[in-house]
Structure 1
Amino acid sequence: MVKKEDFFFNNNALSAEQQEEENDHGDISRSDFPPNFVFGVATSAYQVEGACDEGGRGPCIWDAFTHISGNVIDGSNGDIAVDQYHRYKEDVELIAKLGFDAYRISISWSRIFPDGLGTKVNEEGITYYNNIINSLLEKGIEPYVTLYHWDLPLHLHETLDGWLNKEIVKYFSIYADTCFANFGDRVKNWITLNEPLQTAVNGYDVGTFAPGRKEKPETEPYLAAHHQLLAHASAVSIYKSKYKEKQGGKVGMTVDCEWAEANSDKIEDKIAAARRIDFQLGWYLDPIYYGDYPKVMREKLGHRLPKFTEEEKELLTNSLDFVGLNHYTTRFISHVKESPEEGDFYKAQTMERIVEWEGGELIGEKAASEWLYMVPWGIRKVLNYIARRYNNPPIYVTENGMDDEENETSPLHEMLDDKLRVVYFKRYLAAVSQAIKDGADVRGHFAWSLLDNFEWAQGYTKRFGLIYVDYKNGLTRHPKSSAYWFSRFFKGGEGKKSKSD
């Protein structure tokens, strides 16, 4: 196992400054980033909009999934969520007051095409997104728009088996084309898919996310991933051929990755850690940059991993203007013959994820979610890895943050004083700044999340927001200490650590 003191002494990827940060809370200011670096906040449609049966919106797979008992820990759903559908002007005003440059939102596919098929556009949905886009621009906030953040129209799942059917590529293309046509005169930064790995694994392997399938884990997650990649490539092709010259925008895709650090100097642990990264990043980026899935995935999965035609490879090649990276945490990785985790995806990796140093100390301070530990050096390593492996593409950190436990008995002022979140962002932003100095082409950072919201299978039990939402009292918004920290940070110099931190 890894000894903490040896790791920081011997690990050349960490600078003296970074090692020092392990002993304090970081020392970071706006001037540590390029002048044009984008600082934003992020949300997704199902998690914040609500208005599930208003404005012509059709049902999505999460509407169905959350209404099945036992699927969400607190029995909740996103029917109302935090009601951004009706309160977007208030939320845009908050973003502006705090001083963020950009807001990453997602569009609900079933708000544009209620059945997902693309036969008839829902004009009320077009109007809603025009309104929020225009409101952002009026305040000088750049919209970054994700086309798919997990909320597949329910009709496509019920009639086509959703991402398991190649026909979905056609329907996603129609939807993407419609969004480019209606919003692309003002939206210049598009993200086709958010975390397609989570859709594939949690939706079609372990079944903890909508649509909750786990009947054929040995094939379905890889098929879902394959079709998501083809949908992405098709949408990018449409943008390049029909819109790019006139609109001048960029299209990327957001992948998620925990950093995987070998748990020892043993060759099998080092290989296992590299394999873990291939199964996360390589699954989606290798086909785009190298024309096929990683060799280790082919070896481990064999015929279960679909193959690309030559035409598909051509469509996928270089189909990214930027890489979006969602990163929260890091793990040590050991090689094992049989993974202790559920799911074919994890078992195929023959590795174990470990959260402790050799002496038993946690890898980092734990947040509310069982999977989330504060390990700022991990984000630097992921960014540098992407830069090395994929020829230094432009990267936006499209999600990064931590959660607090919902506590109905704590007074409001305690819930608003989120000291650990302030420390988290100081240290992670310091690591992002260091990655830029290392040479990684990182162009922006989006904090997850603007608001406390519906956190998928965790419901409303976890709070990721910079802004506290009072679920008991009319969904009132209250900025937390972290929101005010960012506001001071943007004004220059006040992101520095203080004696009270």
Structure 2
Amino acid sequence: MASLPKGFLWGGATADFQFEGGYLEGGKGLSTHDFETDGSHERSRMITLKLKDGSRGEVKTRASLPEGAETELYDDVYYPSHKAVDHYHRYKEDIALMAEAGFSVYRFSICWSRIYPLGIEEEPNEEGLKFYENILSELEKYNIQPLITICHDELPDYLAKTYDGWSSRTVVDCYVKYARTLLERFKGRVKYWLTFNELNILSGYAQIGTHIHDHQTVYNAKHNMFIASALTVKLGHEIDENNMFGTMYAMSQFYPKSSRPEDVEASYQKRRMNLMFVDVMSRGYYPNYADMIFKEKEVTINMLEGDDEILRNGTLDYISFSYYRSMVVGKDTVLNQAMGFSGGEENPYLEKTPWGWSVDPIGLRHTLNEVYDRYQKPIFIVENGMGEIDFLEDDFTINDDYRIKYFVRHFEEMKKAILIDKVPVIGYTMWGPIDLVSLSTGEMKKRYGIIYTDMDDKGNGTLNRYRKKSFYWFKKVTETNGDDLSY
């Protein structure tokens, strides 16, 4: 097989609240994720609350908040985002490790409340901006391109408490002000931007700042995010014509449960429900079938005068997505459709990770072709990986052949999509190259990295970083631009 295009970008991706720590350092304000507890595969993460009567309470992260309840921190609760894995103090060491592994791109998110602690300030927090300028300087030292996520599943808690998060157009204005600050301050230093992360599956207080979790609330919050993204894309192109914008979507694949026409139709409709978000932001308008979805869910979109034009003038330059697994959908599959994505049944033909996620490399090739056929725009794979339990040996080595095998199979299918199917792919960033806190469970033992972080599920450990076997293998991959996948 031929070689990947010269300049193909290899790297990794992180999220601030899972990686940085330093949750109140450098002038940072409270973020919606700062109130999330730890959890596990068996135990849900919770948001801690002060109830209307002053008593203590908690709800699951995607549940509605009780009337009159507000987020509250408690001294006897472990909140993983507060320390995370301490990248805030270790960014130089971490970026040096990325460079050693051969990264040519690093995707990271800016913490909104580190730049605007409440979200409503007239002037940004200079200490927060300086932190990210320091990160950019380290990346430049090693010739690593930044890929910045402006908003990764969070917002300043004040905007959630005061304005009900993305339900409010005030938050749209606050976001655009925040984005302008980044675009102007980092002009010429950043080419690739993501306005949001996994927008199609966001819901709940921690992610979109809304107190109510229902179809009407979630879909209208997403509409406001469409507007914020479009305004930012237009603004970003005006500030620097070299800026390129995407939004990241969760693109796990859906297959029909059987060849029965009813199952095929059910999986098709499920896929369209997921792709609707990409349709709006890539094409600049709601597709005709959106009316069917909104009618079924009794949703009315609060479209304001001028919204149509904003959407048309702020379409994305490229499509980016996460790909972790595939599922099957049939006529009788029960779906949680408030998020527009979640749900499906496991495919009995696929192996699974310890957390029950199916492993489907061929599905990545299928998804790349599906997305390019539909949108005819370049694609950036910005999350992919395998959550596993790793063991640090007495000699500080980690033998993770299972992770190498996972990457090999996915890279082989990615190369087929690029070299045989001719899908234009900008690059690939694995999820969590340095072990970080899991979003879904709040655990540390669910590890994705090629670099081990010495920390347990309760934040105990040295936080030292150790290269796994997969680190040395990935270094060989980057040195050969994907030609040598042997192990």
TM over 0.5: yes
Partner of 1:64: 35
Deviations 1:232-261, CA, capped at 9 Å, x for gaps: 0111111122x124xx22121111111111
Distance apart, 1:463 and its partner CA: 1.0
Tell me the secondary structure at the aligned position of residue 167 of structure 1: helix
Q: How far apart, CA to CA, are the structure 1 residues paired with 2:268 and 2:123?
A: 46
| Counterpart AA for 2:479 | K
- Structure 1 residues 493 and 173: CA distance shift in structure 2, 3 A: closer
Q: How far apart, CA to CA, are the structure 2 residues paired with 1:104 and 1:216?
A: 30
Contact 1:335 1:352 in 2 (8 A): no
- Structure 1 residues 63 and 211: CA distance shift in structure 2, 3 A: farther
Partner of 1:172: 175
Distance apart, 1:291 and its partner CA: 4.1
TM-score w.r.t. length of structure 2: 0.85
Which one of the candidate residues 441, 446, 454 is aligned to 2:437?
454
Matched, 1:473 2:456: no
Partner of 2:328: 332
- Structure 1 residues 291 and 132: CA distance shift in structure 2, 3 A: closer
RMSD: 2.5
Deviations 1:160-202, CA, capped at 9 Å, x for gaps: 00011122111100000000111122111111111112323xx
Written as runs of structure 1 = structure 2, the 5 A alignment for 1:267-346 is 267-282=261-276, 284-302=277-295, 303-306=298-301, 308=303, 311-317=306-312, 319-336=315-332, 339-342=333-336, 344-345=338-339
| Deviates most, 114-123 or 52-61 | 114-123
Deviations 1:377-401, CA, capped at 9 Å, x for gaps: 11111111111111x2011001111
Contact 2:36 2:79 in 1 (8 A): no
Partner of 1:235: 232
Matched, 1:40 2:8: no
Contact 2:220 2:302 in 1 (8 A): no
Partner of 2:353: 367
| Counterpart AA for 2:30 | P
Partner of 1:377: 362
Q: How far apart, CA to CA, are the structure 2 residues paired with 1:180 and 1:212?
A: 24
Distance apart, 1:314 and its partner CA: 2.5
- Structure 1 residues 316 and 343: CA distance shift in structure 2, 3 A: closer
Partner of 2:53: none
| Deviates most, 228-237 or 410-419 | 410-419
Aligned-residue identity in percent: 31
Which one of the candidate residues 458, 471, 480 is aligned to 1:492?
480
| Counterpart AA for 2:430 | A
- Structure 1 residues 494 and 117: CA distance shift in structure 2, 3 A: closer
| Counterpart AA for 1:37 | F
| Counterpart AA for 2:275 | L
Written as runs of structure 1 = structure 2, the 5 A alignment for 1:173-252 is 173-200=176-203, 203=204, 210=207, 215-241=212-238, 243-245=239-241, 248-252=242-246
Distance apart, 1:266 and its partner CA: 2.1
More helix by share: 1
Partner of 2:93: 90
| Counterpart AA for 1:385 | E
| Counterpart AA for 2:353 | A
Q: How far apart, CA to CA, are the structure 1 residues paired with 2:349 and 2:59?
A: 31
Partner of 1:463: 447
Distance apart, 1:311 and its partner CA: 2.8
Tell me the secondary structure at the aligned position of residue 366 of structure 1: coil
Distance apart, 1:102 and its partner CA: 0.7
Contact 1:488 1:495 in 2 (8 A): no
Q: How far apart, CA to CA, are the structure 2 residues paired with 1:235 and 1:118?
A: 19
Which one of the candidate residues 425, 436, 443 is aligned to 1:442?
425
Tell me the secondary structure at the aligned position of residue 181 of structure 1: helix
Q: Name stretches of at least 5 consecutive residues in structure 1 with no aligned partner.
A: 1-27, 357-361
| Counterpart AA for 1:441 | P
Contact 2:397 2:469 in 1 (8 A): no
Contact 1:65 1:210 in 2 (8 A): no
Partner of 1:14: none
Contact 1:363 1:375 in 2 (8 A): no
| Counterpart AA for 1:59 | L
Q: Name stretches of at least 5 consecutive residues in structure 2 with no aligned partner.
A: 38-46, 49-57, 62-76
Partner of 1:431: 413
TM-score w.r.t. length of structure 1: 0.83
Contact 2:157 2:209 in 1 (8 A): no
